[in-house]
Amino acid sequence: MLHLKNQFIFAPIKLGYSNNKGEVTDKHLIFYRARAEHLGAVIPEPLYLDKGLRELPTQMGIDNDDKIEGLKKLNHEIKQFGTKTIAHLNHPGRMANPKIPGNYHVSASDQICENGGAKPRSMDRADMDYAIGLFVNAAKRAKEANFDMIELQFGHGYLAAQFLSPAVNQRSDEYGGSLDNRMKFPLEIFDAVAKATDLPIIVRISGDEMFPEGFHLEDMFTFSQELEKRGAAAIHLTAGTACSTPPWFFQHMFIKKGKTWEMAGQLQNKINIPVIFVGRINSPKDIEQINGNYNRPYIALGRALVADPDFAGKYLGKKEGRIRPCLACAEGCLGGVKSGKGLGCVVNPQVGLEDDIPDKADKTKHIAVVGGGLAGMQAALTLKERGHNVDLYEKEKLGGQFNLAWLPPKKDSLKEIVDYYKFELKSQNIKTIHKKVTPEDITGNGYQEVVLATGAEPAVPPIKGLKTYYWSEFLHDENLPEDKSVLVIGGGLIGAEISSKLVDKNNKVTIVEMLDEVARGMEMIERKFTLAKLKKHDVEMFVNHKVTEIINDHQVLIEDKAGNTKTLNKIDKIVIATGMKSVNELQYDLQGKIPVHIIGDAIKPAKAREAILTAFNAAKSI
C-alpha cells in the first residue's frame, strides 16, 4: 500500500515556472504549498533527467546534484502537512522539444511523432544503457532530496511507451515484435531503478493509446502483472499518447469522461496492488461515482486542483465554499505552458499568484458593477471579499455572452463556471439588479465608484447589399436551420464554432475569411477537432478572401487579395462572424462625475481568461 493520509494525489502537471537552469523557484513553492494540505500525496511536475531531454525550457530538472537542495525545499513545503511526495521521472524520447537548443531525440525506432517533432535516432544498446543510467541517477537524487516515492512515466507516448507501442516500435531485434519483446526495455528500466533505491515505485501507464495501431488494455493487463511481480507499489492508469491522441493525453472536454476510470477498474480486478484512477475528475459527483463503483481507489486530481487549490479540502469538508470548476478546456493550463507564460487557468486568476491574496480595503465603498458577464461577476465577488458594498447590474441573464460558449458541440462543460458564479453571488448576498443602466442610475444612487463590464457586440462590416443576417442565433438548437445553404462571413473562433453546429443539421456551409487560416485563436485541441469535422462535412473555405457585395440576399460576390472575383449562388442564410467591438458608452457619460474602471471585453474583446483576470486585478486596486 502507499500509506497516504487520504485517497487524493496531485497528478503531475507541467507548470513552466522554473528558470532555464531547471531549478525550483519560489513560484513552485507557493503553488504546491497552496494545494498540499488536504492531499494524501503530491507528484510535482515531470522532472527532466537530462538537459537535452526537456519538454519545456522552464521545466524542473533532477539531472544533476545541484538540483537536490531546491527539491528538498519543495518537499519540505509539501510534507509539512503530512502529505507525501512522489518524484515523477520521465524520459521523453522522441518527444523532447525540438525547439530547445541542445535537445536530442532517441526512440525505439526512427518514427517521427505525427503531432510534430524531430526525427529520432533508433536506440542502440549504448543508448539504452545511457537512458537506464539517467533513471537510476535521478532515482538516487530523489531519495537524497527526501521524496517518499518515485513514479516512472511509462505511458502517454514517452520513451517507455514508444517501446511498448507497436505503432512506434518497428524494431526487428529482441526489443521489437511481440509484446514480450516490447516490454523488455521498460522492464529493464524498472528493475534498475528498483535495485538502485528502496523507495516505493509507482508506474504510470496509458491503459490504451486510443488508436487502432497502438497498444490496448489487454496488453497493459499483461504489462502491469509483470510490474507487480517485480515489486511495483501501484499502477497509475491514464490514456492516450501526446503524438497520436492528444485529446486523451490532456483529457480534453471533447473526449468522453470516465473512460480511464473504467479501464482502471478493470485493471484493479487483474492485479493485487493499488490502481490510481485519473482523468478529468473535477467534481464531487465524479469522486462519488468512482468510490461507489470501485474498491478503495486512489484518485489523482490534476487540473481540478489548478482551478481550485482547495478542491480536496472542500470535498472532505475541511474547507468551506463551492468548488470552482475546471472546465477541461485546456485554454489556460496547456495554452499558458505552451506559450512560455507558465501555467494559468481560465477560471482561476490567482494561479501562479497564490500568495497574492486580495487585502481588505482601507475604506468600505458603495460600488456599482455594470454588466453580469464573467468579468462583472468576478469583479463583484472580489470587491465583496475586500469588504465593499456591491450592486451588480445586468440587463439580461447573468453570464453575458459566455452563455453562448457552451452551445457549440461538446462544450457543455463550460456552463459550470456561470453556475459557480451565480451560486457565489447569491451566497455572498450581492444584490443583482436586472435593468439597462442609465448614467442617472449610477450618479443618483450614492455609488462612490463604478466598474464597467459592459462587454462587446458584433462588429458588422459595411458590405454592399447586406440586409438580413444572423450572428449567434444558430447556436441555439431551436433556431438551427436544416438542409440550407449557409454562408459564414468570418472564419475565426466564433465563425468556426457556428459552422461546426450548422453541419450537424446537414447544412451546406461556406466560410469566407479575410486572413490566411480558419479558426485562428481557437485552443489547439479544439481547433484540430473542429477543422477535421468541417473538412469531413465538405465545408468550403475561402481564406484570404473578402465579401464585396450581396445581391438579393442569395447571391454573394467575394474577392481574393489579387482582386480576382467569384460568385456564390443560392445562399439561403448569411452569418456575420467578423469579430467584436467593445461596448463602453457609459464611460463617456460618467467621466468626471465618478471614478470609472473598465474591465473585460469593454476594454478590448478577448477570451474568458483575460476577462476574469482584468476583473480580478481591477477589483484588487479599488
pLDDT given at position 320: 93
pLDDT interval class at 553 (50, 70, 90): confident
Average pLDDT over residues 296-303: 95
Instruction: Please determine, for residue 334, whether its predicted confidence score (pLDDT) is greater than 80.
Output: no
Instruction: Please determine, for residue 20, whether its predicted confidence score (pLDDT) is greater than 90.
Output: no
Average pLDDT over residues 419-447: 96
Name the DSSP letter for residue 344. Answer: -
* Torsion sign, CA atoms 468, 473, 475, 481: negative
pLDDT tens digit sequence for 32-91: 999 999 999 999 999 999 999 999 999 999 999 999 999 999 999 999 999 999 999 999
How distant, in Å, are the alpha carbons of 28, 48, 91, 150, 196 from that of 199? 23, 19, 19, 7, 9
β 545-551/508-513 pair status? unpaired
Are 539 and 499 contacting, i.e. CB atoms less than 8 angstroms apart?
yes
pLDDT given at position 564: 95
441 CB neighbour count, 10 Å cutoff = 18
Distance between CA 398 and CA 10 in Å, rounded?
33
Average pLDDT over residues 97-124: 94
Instruction: Please determine, for residue 261, whether its predicted confidence score (pLDDT) is greater than 80.
Output: yes
pLDDT given at position 340: 74
Instruction: Please determine, for residue 333, whether its predicted confidence score (pLDDT) is greater than 90.
Output: no
Instruction: Please determine, for residue 535, whether its predicted confidence score (pLDDT) is greater than 90.
Output: yes
> Which single residue is written with the C-alpha cell 524520447?
93
pLDDT given at position 284: 96
Instruction: Please determine, for residue 1, whether its predicted confidence score (pLDDT) is greater than 80.
Output: no
Residue type, 18: S
Tell me phi and psi for residue 352, to 5 degrees. 85, -5
607 CB neighbour count, 10 Å cutoff = 18
Instruction: Please determine, for residue 274, whether its predicted confidence score (pLDDT) is greater than 80.
Output: yes
Instruction: Please determine, for residue 431, whether its predicted confidence score (pLDDT) is greater than 80.
Output: yes
Distance between CA 546 and CA 591 in Å, rounded?
38
pLDDT given at position 295: 86
pLDDT given at position 104: 97
pLDDT tens digit sequence for 364-422: 999 999 999 999 999 999 999 999 999 999 999 999 999 999 999 889 999 999 999 99
Are 566 and 548 contacting, i.e. CB atoms less than 8 angstroms apart?
no
pLDDT tens digit sequence for 124-162: 999 999 999 999 999 999 999 999 999 999 999 999 999
Name the DSSP letter for residue 419. Answer: H
pLDDT given at position 256: 87
How distant, in Å, are the alpha carbons of 177, 210, 319, 348 from that of 333? 37, 23, 24, 11
pLDDT tens digit sequence for 309-321: 999 999 999 999 9
Quickly list DSSP for 68-118: HHHHHHHHHHHHTTT-EEEEEEE--GGGS-TTSTT---EESSSPPPTTS-P
Q: In this structure, what C-alpha cell is assigned to residue 341?
A: 507564460
Helix, strand, coil content of the chain in percent (nearest 5): 35, 15, 45
Mean of the per-residue pLDDT values of the chain: 95
In the chain, % of residues over pLDDT 90: 92
pLDDT tens digit sequence for 580-615: 999 999 999 999 999 999 999 999 999 999 999 999
Q: In this structure, what C-alpha cell is assigned to residue 281?
A: 475528475
Distance between CA 488 and CA 506 in Å, rounded?
15
Distance between CA 546 and CA 490 in Å, rounded?
9
pLDDT given at position 14: 95
β 149-153/201-206 pair status? parallel
Tell me phi and psi for residue 78, to 5 degrees. -80, -45
pLDDT given at position 568: 96
pLDDT interval class at 337 (50, 70, 90): confident
Based on C-alpha coordinates, what's the Rg of the chain? 27
Of 32, 48, 158, 175, the active-site residue reads 158
* Torsion sign, CA atoms 48, 51, 55, 59: positive
Catalytic site includes residue 447: no
Q: In this structure, what C-alpha cell is assigned to residue 229?
A: 511481480
In the chain, % of residues over pLDDT 70: 100
Which residues, other chains included, contact 471 with Cβ-Cβ below 8 Å and sequence gap of 6+? 458, 575, 576, 577
pLDDT interval class at 219 (50, 70, 90): very high
Of 570, 420, 576, nearest in space to 490 by CA: 576
pLDDT given at position 174: 98
Point out which residues pair with 90 in neighbouring strands.
48
Quickly list DSSP for 47-68: EESSGGG-SSTT--B-SSGGGH
Distance between CA 300 and CA 12 in Å, rounded?
9
Which residues, other chains included, contact 328 with Cβ-Cβ below 8 Å and sequence gap of 6+? 251, 252, 253, 257, 280, 282, 303, 413
